[in-house]
Structure 1
Amino acid sequence: MKTACFVSAALLLAASATAAAQSTAQCPSLPSDSGLHWEQQAQTDFIVCKATTEDGRPVLNMMLTPRDPDMLLNRSLRAEKGSFAGESLHWYKLDMGGRDLPGLESRRITVVKLDKNRYAQIWIDAADTGELGNLQALTQTLNLNPSTLAGGDH
């Protein structure tokens, strides 16, 4: 009986390790020279990827989901053009209800429809406009595998 419990526990640990290994591979690969690493939170129907700097500051965030985030992005807040996973996009300045808060000039958000039932919501919290430009350029290089999206049609 003890052997059966041990084997069951070992199989559960192996399954957990396999699931953890698969889930860490769901965020797009970051370039090794970026100085960033992903922290990932996978839920049943979405994945949140948070890229943090070496000192732990989150700078690039991404939610991959099969549902349209249905965000109202005001055309008057459009900023730079860009791309992600081969799709064109516009970055938007954050709408803080007319308030001009410190640091807003280096923050952006966008939503990209990747294909049927596949969306990426991306937001950047850069320290300054130079870092903002670097992070926007980085997002253009990220490769998003079709199997990355939980619950998406493939």
Structure 2
Amino acid sequence: MNTTAWRGSALLVLAGLGMASAQAQDQGNCPQMPATSGLTWEYRSSGDSDFCRALRADGSEAFGLYIARKSPFEPKRGNRAEAGVIDGQQMYWYKGELATRPNLEVRETLMELADGRVAHIWLQAEPQQLGATISEAQSIRFPSTRLSSK
């Protein structure tokens, strides 16, 4: 299944279940961002799953993440793009695509957390904004009890 379509479905399910209302001021279980980022979190939860969107001042999404026991995203080595580091953990960004916007750069990654869950992180950016958007996403910090030492 296209992960973008899946994320849209997840949003609809979360909204339909009457989960915590999205509040940019409520960080919920979202990771920490630098205070200077200019980004705020939109947070929703369902059981042991958390959905977080990092929003710019204009309301556009910088990046998003879904934390749960399992993720539908399965990284494929052939789609590896940029190497990076999130909260001290080495990782890779994987290329994705959005059928309705073929010129948009799509990246995704998967991080293991210490509590046994995984964080699926994604972003969509214009080609000239890709580096800056990746830097924003890589600036997040998970609480020390959440990030796996693997």
TM-score calculated relative to the size of structure 1: 0.67
Quick check: 2:109–2:120 contact (8 Å CA) kept in 1?
yes
Structure 1: which 5+ runs fail to align? 1-19, 150-154
Q: Which has the higher helix share?
A: 1
Deviation readout 1:106-139 (Å, 9 max, x if unpaired)? 220111113351211000022x234221222223
2:44 maps to which residue? Answer: 41
Quick check: 1:68–1:117 contact (8 Å CA) kept in 2?
no
2 CA distance for matches of 1:71 and 1:27? 19
Higher relative contact order (CA 8 A, sep 6+): 1
> Within 5 A, what are the aligned runs for 1:96-111?
101-104=101-104, 106-111=105-110
2 CA distance for matches of 1:116 and 1:28? 14
TM-score calculated relative to the size of structure 2: 0.68
Structure 2: which 5+ runs fail to align? 1-22
> Within 5 A, what are the aligned runs for 1:118-137?
118-126=117-125, 128-137=126-135
1:15 maps to which residue? Answer: none
> Are residues 1:71 and 2:73 paired?
yes
1:91 maps to which residue? Answer: 93
Deviation readout 1:6-39 (Å, 9 max, x if unpaired)? xxxxxxxxxxxxxx9xx63421222233222110
Identity of aligned residues (%): 30
1:94 Cα deviation after fit: 0.6
The ranges of structure 1 where at least 4 consecutive aligned residues each deviate by more than 6 angstroms after the TM superposition are: none
2 CA distance for matches of 1:39 and 1:100? 24
Task: Go from structure 1 to structure 2 and tell me whether the alpha carbon gap of 1:72 and 1:143 turns closer, same or farther (over 3 Å shift).
Answer: closer
Question: Which structure: larger Rg?
Answer: 1
1:145 maps to which residue? Answer: 143
